[in-house]
Amino acid sequence: MPDSPSTSEKQVTSEAADVRDPASSSADSNRSFDLSDLAEGRTQFGANLEPALRTACNDRLSEVRWFRADWQRGGALTGYAAYCDDAGDEHEVVVKLPVPPVERKWLVRLQDSNTVTDVVPRLFQYGDELGGYDLIWVVMERLAYGPIGSAWGGAAFDLFVEAVGRFAWATSAFEVEGEARHKDWKKIHQMARDHIRRHDVANEQQWQKALKKAHRHLKDWIATWEDRPTDDWCHGDLHPGNAMTRVPPPDGPVLLFDLAEAHRGHWLEDAVYFEHLYWSKRDQLDGRKLCNMIAKQRKKHDLPVEKDWSKLASVQRALLAMATPAMLQHEGNPAHVAAALQVLEREVG
């Protein structure tokens, strides 16, 4: 399974913890972590923090092999190590810092809870401070296989969707809080039209016509989407690049990670996003209908699925397709842009 047009960049991503002005802190308080601390020598920075990290882990952590992979975005520092658990057993682990609070929260919440196991990698240890910095860090299980891809064949989709169902089931045990995400779809529509006029985009006239028709539907689309229930926890970055497993292909189960974008919303936000990554590669699906499969998984776990969910899915497809020209720097794969045009033309009639 090749990387999707907007997901080729990573396995694990991270953002820094909140940054406070060091000058406003008292002399004996922790410094807030700033990504500028990593500007010169990530490996050296990790090495400087390593003694404090190993102390925080009660000397159960081995020497860390720090690295920065091409697929990483943001300022995350990661490394491989070994960790000795309470029983004296040694485990291969990934050390990650800094970790967004949301990601750490869900890694903790989904550890062997009363709802379901094996949703996310095992978390061995974590903390909020390191080496005098306010810095969230985690030591978690290193999964041996993945991210899932072509080695799994079509089973990759089945295993991934099954993992999405377990994630939905597990997260449903926690009260939904916070604000749902809202986008300025009118502004995005205008940006799309502007990009079509300014860029050398294939099928420019077709795009102009489709976006003009979309404008007629936009008010109704927005009203329908904004009126959706937002009682679900969404992963927020749902794609196979964020899924690995403990066993060799083509087996599973698959575990999900990179929960930094988890948020309140509607399950179709994740489902349609996942689907749209394959608009230009439908042959890889071998007839699978991803949104239908995710809906069935939700029913399997006795989670709510609206009778008219397909209408809401169509609206979200239309909005994502309409937005594609506005996101050319992120989703500029010509095949994906062409496929998005086909989706939009189908939705506007």
Tens digit of each residue's pLDDT (9 = 90 or more) over 141-187:
999 999 999 999 999 999 999 999 999 999 999 999 999 999 999 99
Tell me which H or E stretch contains 332: none
Rounded Cα distance between 144 and 252, Å, is: 12
Would 8 be classed as within a structural domain? no
Are both 26 and 125 inside the same structural domain?
A: yes
Mean pLDDT of 4-23: 29
pLDDT of res. 316: 98
In a domain, 14, yes or no: no
User: 185 and 257 in one domain?
Assistant: yes
- Cβ atoms within 10 Å of 171's Cβ, excluding its own: 23
**CA separation for the pair 103, 120 (Å, rounded):** 11
How far is 53 from 41, CA to CA, in rounded Å? 18
Task: Measure the CA angle with vertex 315, ends 314 and 320; round to 5°.
Answer: 100
The predicted structure's pLDDT at residue 18: 27
The reply to whether 305 falls in a domain is yes
User: Could you tell me if 122 and 203 lie in one domain?
Assistant: no
Mean pLDDT, residues 4-26 = 30
Give the count of alpha carbons within 13 A of 296, CB side only.
Answer: 9
pLDDT of residue 269: 98
Same domain membership, residue 104 and residue 166: no
| Same-domain pairing of 124 and 163 | no
Could you count the other beta carbons within 10 Å of the beta carbon of residue 144?
11
Return the higher-pLDDT residue of 14 and 141.
Answer: 141
* Residues pairing with 67 in the sheet: 78
Residues 198, 258 within the same domain: yes
**Most confident region among 6-15, 108-117, 162-171 by mean pLDDT:** 162-171
Give the mean pLDDT of 103-107. Answer: 96
Average pLDDT over residues 202-212: 95
Same domain assignment for residues 80 and 194: no
Q: What is the mean pLDDT of residues 89-105?
A: 96
CA distance linking residue 193 with residue 211, whole number of Å: 7
Instruction: Look up residue 36 and give its DSSP letter.
Output: G
Residue-wise pLDDT for 16-35, tens only, equals 222 222 233 333 445 655 54
First to last CA, the chain: 31
SS3 label, residue 256: strand
Confidence of residue 41 (pLDDT cuts 50, 70, 90): low
In a domain, 49, yes or no: yes
Tokens of 12: 């694990």
For 45, the enclosing helix (H) or strand (E) is helix 42-56
Mean pLDDT score across all residues of the chain: 86
Question: Residue 311's closest CA among 207, 217, 193?
Answer: 217
Q: How confident is the model at residue 113 (pLDDT cuts 50, 70, 90)?
A: low
**CATH assignment of the domain containing 212:** 3.90.1200.10
Residue 89 confidence (pLDDT): 96
Give the total number of structural domains in the chain: 2
Asked if 258 and 116 sit in the same domain, the reply is no
Residue 3 inside a domain? The answer is: no
Domain carrying residue 101: 22-141
Rounded CA-CA distance 343/322 in Å is 9
DSSP output for 229-254: ---EEE-SS-SGGGEEESS-TT---E
- H or E, element range at 93: strand 90-97
Do residue 132 and residue 164 come from a single domain?
A: no
> Tell me, what's the pLDDT at 26?
34
d(CA 309, CA 103): 28
133 in the same domain as 111 = yes
Residues 164 and 127 in one domain: no
Query: Which of 110, 141, 172 lies at the terminal end of a domain, its last residue?
Result: 141
Residue 79 has what pLDDT? 93
